[in-house]
């Protein structure tokens, strides 16, 4: 477990800024696709046609899938953060400060649905809890910390010196 003086929990506003950056990244990907489908629905003779509805639902499903994979892979990677969190100097860890597994990062992502379903109160909780945890952090037993990750390995010793320092000929 951490020593208390080393922990620098990420506050609500840092997390909010990182979320906005991640939202912009997702928007750059999906807004153009949504515009194309929207134009198709507006110009179609039958806006309720099964093809256009399937395209709309397909885009929503694709956005959900890409969002899940983006957050889960990034937060379980060696970065321990999405691009938005990385820009803000944040990282996501388990309760002991270790890198998340993909499963835990997935649980955290789906916990965000719960945080949002209750009028975003689950997200706002990060501003008021002791460890600045949102509801989805509590569900997944994770922390969002400010600052670089601490390496989880010790520095290896220097390599041995095999150079020949003798003055005479080698007797092999």
- With bands split at pLDDT 50, 70 and 90, how would you rate the model's confidence at 35? confident
Q: Which of 48-52, 98-102, 133-137 shows the lowest per-residue confidence on average (mean pLDDT)?
A: 48-52
> Does the residue 164 lie in any domain?
no
Tell me what pLDDT residue 3 has: 46
Domain membership of residue 22 as a residue range: 4-146
Convert the pLDDT of each residue in 94-111 to its tens digit.
888 888 999 999 999 998
Q: The pTM is what?
A: 0.72
For helices 50-76 and 102-117, the axis angle rounded to 10 degrees is 120
> Does the residue 109 lie in any domain?
yes
> For all residues of the chain together, what is the average pLDDT?
82
Tell me what pLDDT residue 169 has: 64
Tell me what pLDDT residue 33 has: 79
> Does the residue 169 lie in any domain?
no
Average pLDDT over residues 148-166: 69
Examine the pLDDT at 155 and tell me if it is beyond 80.
no
> Does the residue 122 lie in any domain?
yes
- With bands split at pLDDT 50, 70 and 90, how would you rate the model's confidence at 1? very low
What separation in angstroms does the CA of 56 have from each of 43, 52, 65? 14, 6, 14
> Does the residue 162 lie in any domain?
no
Average pLDDT over residues 128-157: 82
- With bands split at pLDDT 50, 70 and 90, how would you rate the model's confidence at 20? very high
Q: Mapping DSSP to helix (H, G, I), strand (E, B) and coil, where does residue 172 land?
A: coil
Which tokens belong to 113?
């649905």
> Does the residue 165 lie in any domain?
no
Average pLDDT over residues 80-84: 90
Q: How many structural domains comprise the chain? A: 1
Burial class (CB in 10 A: 0-12, 13-18, 19+), 38: middle
């Amino acid at each position: 477990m951490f020593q208390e003086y080393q922990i620098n929990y990420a506050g609500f506003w840092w997390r909010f800024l990182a979320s906005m950056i991640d939202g912009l990244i997702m928007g750059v990907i999906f807004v153009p696709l949504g515009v194309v489908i929207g134009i198709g629905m507006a110009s179609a003779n039958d806006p309720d046609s099964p093809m256009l509805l399937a395209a709309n639902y397909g885009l929503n499903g694709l956005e959900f899938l890409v969002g899940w994979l983006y957050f889960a892979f990034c937060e379980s990677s060696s970065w321990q953060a999405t691009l938005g969190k990385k820009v803000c100097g944040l990282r996501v860890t388990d309760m002991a400060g270790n890198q998340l597994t993909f499963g835990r990062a997935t649980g955290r992502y789906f916990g965000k649905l719960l945080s949002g379903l209750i009028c975003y109160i689950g997200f706002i909780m990060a501003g008021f809890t002791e460890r600045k945890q949102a509801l989805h952090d509590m569900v997944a037993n994770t922390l969002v910390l400010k600052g670089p990750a601490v390496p989880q390995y010790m520095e290896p010793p220097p390599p041995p010196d095999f150079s020949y320092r003798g003055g005479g000929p080698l007797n092999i």
